[in-house]
Structure 1
Amino acid sequence: MNLFAISCLITAILTAILGLLTLLKNPRDKINQSWFLVSVGVFLWTIGLFGTVIVGSKESALFWQRILYIGTILIPILFFRFCSILLKRGRRERIIFYFGCILAIIFLILLFSKYFIVITQERTNLGYWPVKTGFLYWPFLLYFAFYVIYSVILLKIISKKNSGIYQKQIQFVYYAALIGFVGGSTNFLLDFNLNIYPSGNFFVSFYVVMVAYAVFKYHLMNIKLIATEILTGLVSLILLVDLLLSDNLPFILLKSGILIVFVYLGISLVRNVLKEVKQREQMEVMAKEVQKAYEVEKAAKEEVEKLTEAKTQFIMATQHHLRTPLTSIIGYLDLLFGGTYGKVPPKIKETLLKFQVSTKRLIRVVNALLDISQFQMGKRVVALEPNIDFESLIKEVMEELSFEVKMRGLYLKYEKIGQVPAIKADSEKLKVALFNIIDNAIKYTKQGGIIVNLKQAGKLVQLSVKDTGIGVDPKQANKLFKEAFARGDEAKKVYGFGSGIGVYVTGHIIRAHNGRIWAESEGKGKGSTFFIELPIG
C-alpha cells in the first residue's frame, strides 16, 4: 500500500467519523444533516479512490471508479446545499439546488453506461484510471465546476458581511473547501490522459483537519460535547478490556488505578464541556435577544425619524398655508391705517387694531411651531451677528405691545442702568424671545404693570422683566423653558388660550445665543421676574 492510498484511507475514516459525530449531535438540525450528506459524498469519493489505487484488475478498478464518481457527482450539489443552509440563502438558491439535483440524478443513472467512462488503464503506478471518457464527461465537469465555484463565492461574500464567531466559522469552511477542492481536482488530470501525479490530493486531508478545527474551536455544528463523550468512552473501554485480559496481580492493580483515574478525569472533562456548551448556548440566546432588541429599537428609531420628518413637513406646510393669508391680512390692515382706502373712523380703527394684534399673534404662533420643529431636529435656527443694539430691540418690542398694554390698563416701564454694550445676536430671533417674555408678563398681569430693566453685569448683559401678576410656582418654573406646552396651573385659569409654546421657544433661542434664562417668584399672586443673560459681543 503506497502513501497515496494511505492518505485516501485516512481521509475517508476521518470524514466518516466527523460526519457521524455531526449527525449524532443533532439529527434534526438541517446544517448537521446537510454536512453529514457532504461527508457521505466525500467518503464515497475517497474510499473509491483508495479502492482504485489498491486493486490489480481493470474490472475491479472500474467498479471502484464508479464508486468514486458517485461521490464526485454528489459532492458539489450536497456542498452547495450545505452552504445555502449555513448562509440562510433564499429562493434563488433553492431553484439552483433543485436543478442541480436533476443533473446529479441524470449523471448517476448514466454513470454505469458507456457515455461516462469507456476504458480504464494502469497509470503512474496508482492503479487503473479512465483513459477514454464518454461525451457526458464534459457536461459533468461543467456541473461540478459551477456548483463548487458558486458555493465558494457564496462563502466568501457572506464571510465579508459578518463578524465574530459566525465569520470565523464561515472562513474556516471557505478555506477548507478551497484547499480540498483545488487539491482533489488534480485527480481529473489523469482522466485527460495526462500522466501527472495527483499530488494535490494530499491536501484533501487538510480539509478534514480545518473543518475539525472549526468544529472544536468555533463550535461549528456543536459536536464538541458528543465527540468528547465518545472519545472518553472509547478510551475507557480499551482500558477496561486491557484490565480484563491481564493475569498479573500488580498489573491488575496498576491498570485498575489508571482506569479509575481516567474515568474520574473523563467524567470531569465531560462535565466541563457540558457546562461550557450550556454557557455558550445561553450566550447565543442572549446574543440573539440583544440582536432582536437592537433590531426592534432600530425599527422604532427609523419609525420615529419618519414620524418626525412627517411632522416637520406638516408643520412647514401648515406654516406656509397659514402665514401667507395672515401676511396678506396684515398688509391690507397697513393699507387701511395708511389711508389708502380713505379715512378710518376711530371706533373701526380701534377694532382693526385689535384685529391686527390678534393676527400678528397668530403669525408668531405659526412661526413658533416651525422653530420648535427645527430645534427638536437639531437644526441651526439662530444666525449670530456682531454689534447688535440690544436696547433698540427691547424698545421695538415694547412699542409693538403698547396698544395691548393700554387696552388692559397696565403700565409698561423701561429702565436702564448705565451704558450697555452691543451684543452678538440674531436680531429677528432675539426679538421673538423678547416679545414672548414681555407679552407673557402682560397676559398674566391683571393689575399694576411691568418693569423692563437692562444693565451690564460683568461680561454679560442682563435683562429682567418684572410684573405684578399671578406669579410662578417655583416647582414649575424650571419646566417652562424645557418642555413644550408646559404651563402653570394658575396660568391656565387666567389665560385659557395660552399654549406654552412661546416660553419654550424663547428658552431655545436664548441658549442658542449662549445665554441663560430663568424665572423667579415669591409665590402665587406675588408677581414674577424673568431674567435673560447674554454674553457681550
Structure 2
Amino acid sequence: MESIPFVIYLLVPSSLIIMGVGIYTHIKARNKESLIFLFLTIAQSLFSIGNFFLWDSCGIDKDVIFWDRLLYIPGIMMPPLIYHFTLEFCNRKTDKDKLSLGISYALACVLIMISQQNYFVNDVFNYNWGCHTVAQTGHHFFAIYVFYYVIKSIVYLYHFWKGESNDSSRKSQTFFVFLAFLAYSFLALVIIVAYKIPIYPFFYLSLPLFALLMTYAIIEKNVFVSIFAIDVLMVAILIMVSTFLLFPEDTLINADFSGRLFFFVLILAASFFLIKKNHEEISRKDEIERVSRLKSEFISISSHQLRTPLGAIRGYSSMMLEGDYGKINKKMHEPLTYINDASVRMIKLVNSLLDVSRLERGKLEFKLSQNVSVNKIIKECIDDVTLNAKAKGIYIKFKEDDSIPVIRADEDKIKQSIHNLINNAVLYTQKGGITITTKKKRAKTIFIQIRDTGIGIAKDDLEKIFKSFSRGNGASQIYTQGTGLGLFVAKNFIEMHNGKLRVSSEGEGKGSLFCIELPVKSFIEEKQDFNLTFEKDNG
C-alpha cells in the first residue's frame, strides 16, 4: 500500500461528529432512545478510530492483528445496539422482540470472547488499498450475525415508515432514520475484505454519511427533541475543517476526485443547514417577540378595562353587606358575600396580570423609601392571612430579629412579594403550619426564611414554579383557582432590588422552604428599563 486512502482520514472527523451528536442528543433528550443512540455512537466512534490506526499500521502484521481484534469489540456491539434502537424507535415491545433482543446481546458477549482468538481472525491480507486480518472459522458466525440483525433492523424501520400514514412528522423522522441506517449497512462490506476479496474502502464513507443523515434527522426533524441545531452544525463544520491539520501534506494532493468531492459535499451540506437554521432562528425570535408584545398589550388593555367594573362590583357589594342600602335578609347575605369575595379575587388577578404585563414590557416605576422595615411588612402580611390560617387550623410563627436595619426599597413591591409567599404557604399547608424567620446574614444583607409543613414541591417542579402561568402538579390539585403568577412576580420584584429568592423541598408531602436575601441598600433607580429574559413553560 503506497499511502492511506483519503476516505480513511475521514474516519477521524466522522468519529468525533458521531460521538458529539450522541452525547449532545442524550443531554437534551434524556430518554431511552437517546441513551441507546449514545451507546451506538460511542461504539461507532471507537470502531472508526480503531480502523484508522489499523490502516496506519499496514505493513506491521502484529500491530494490524492487535488493532483489528480491538476494533472487533465495538464492531460486534453495533448490531445489537442498532437492533435495540430500532425496537425502541418503532415501539416494538412484544415478548418475541424482547427475547430476540436478549439473544442479540448474549451472542455479542460470546462473539467478543471468540474474536480475540486465532480461530476468529489470524494472519494479514495485504492488497493495493490497505490491509485486513484474514477470517477464520469463528468469523463466519460473526458475518451471519451482522447481516441478520442489520437487515432485520432496516426491514423494521421500513415497515414502520410505511405504516406511519397518520402522522406526517413521525413519518418524515422515520424516513431519515431509515436512510441513515441504510447508508450505515454498507459498512458491512468490510467483512468481505476479511475473506481476501480486495475492495476499495469506499464503504467507510457510510460512517460520515450516517453522521450527516442522523444529524439532519435530529436537528431538522426533531427525532429526539428540539435541540440547538446551530450548535451541532457549527461543531460539525469545525471538526471537519480541523481534520486538515491531521492530514499529511500530500494526502489532499494525492486524493482522488471522488474523495475530495465527498469531503466538499459534507462541508457544503453542513454549511447550508447552518445558514438555513440561523435564518429560521432569527425569524422564530422575531415572531416570538411580536406575539409577546401583542400579548402584553392585550393583557394591559384588558386589565385596565376590567378594573373599573370590578371595583364597582366590590364597592357596591361591600356597601350592601354593611347595610348602607338598608338591612338585608339572611337569604341575600350569602350570595352577596360570594360576589364580594369573587370580586376581590378577580381584582387581585387583574393586578397580577398588570404586574406581569409591566415586567414583560421591561418598564416599571419604583417608589423608593429609605426606611422600609421588613419586620413590619411581614407582620402586616401575617395579619392579612391570619383568618384563613385559623380557619384551616394551622399556625403561623414569626421569629423576628429586632436588630435588622431598615432597608432602601419599594415598600409596596417588597410587601407584595412577601405576601405572595406567605399566602401560598397558607393555601398549600393542610396541617402543621408556617414558620417565618428574619435575621441579618451579613452587615449589608437581610435574610428571610418562610418554612411550611405543606404539600412540598416535586424535584421536577422546583424550577418551573417561578415561570409565569406555571404551577406545580400538587398545587394545581389543592387550589384550583391559582394563576401561577404569584411566585413569578415575587421573584422578579426581589431580583430587581438586587436580591435573591430560592426554594428547596425534600419532595411531595415534605413541606417547602423559601429563602429571600435582600440588600440593605438596593442600587436601583425610581424609573428604570429592565431587560428580562422569561422562560416559557411549554408543558
TM-score interval w.r.t. the shorter chain? Answer: 0.3 to 0.5
Determine which structure has the larger helix proportion and give its number. 1
TM-score in terms of structure 1 length? 0.43
Higher relative contact order (CA 8 A, sep 6+): 2
Work out which of the two has the higher radius of gyration on C-alpha atoms and give 1 or 2: 1
TM-score in terms of structure 2 length? 0.43
